[in-house]
Amino acid sequence: MPTYDYVCLACRQRFDVFLTYSEYGVKKVTCPLCGSLDVKRRLNRVRVLKSDESRMENMADDFAGLDGLEDDPQALGSMMRRMGSQMGTDLPAEFNDVVDRLESGQSPEEIESALPDLGVGDDE
């Protein structure tokens, strides 16, 4: 049976309901905590699986405008954030820290001096 996610608008409880396809939209759904009928279906996030080739093509588009990025930390940070989201894997917290600093206008040199241990031990 399919599982549907709901939230109770009365008590804010989130809960799952198992319904057959024929029951969905017909059977009344009530909150298991407070019994309210004032519930709303929640839609889960959908993840789209991309091939390595598709991710590489998207990153190639990002690389197309690299000219002048060394003089524009905000544009460099924005490009790095887009590329990071295309990777399809979780990146370390340091990556987000560096990107946040770039987007706030810090130069790569300032970031390197503020984070001297960045990248140390990565090749172990």
pLDDT of residue 121 exceeding 80, the answer is no
The tens digit of pLDDT for each residue in 56-113 reads: 776 666 566 566 666 788 888 887 887 777 666 777 778 888 888 888 888 888 888 8
Q: Decide: pTM greater than 0.85.
A: no
pLDDT at 124: 46
How many C-beta neighbours within 10 Å does residue 9 have?
13
3-42 CATH fold: Rubrerythrin, domain 2 (2.20.28)
What tokens appear for 66 in the block?
A: 């690299």
For the chain, the structural domain boundaries read 3-42, 52-114
What tokens appear for 104 in the block?
A: 């706030």
Say if residues 67 and 34 touch (Cβ distance below 8 Å): no
The tens digit of pLDDT for each residue in 12-32 reads: 999 999 999 899 889 999 999
pLDDT at 83: 76
How many C-beta neighbours within 10 Å does residue 94 have?
13
Using only the alpha carbons of the chain, give its radius of gyration. Answer: 23
Question: Given strand 3-8, what is the order of strands in its sheet?
Answer: 14-18, 3-8, 39-42
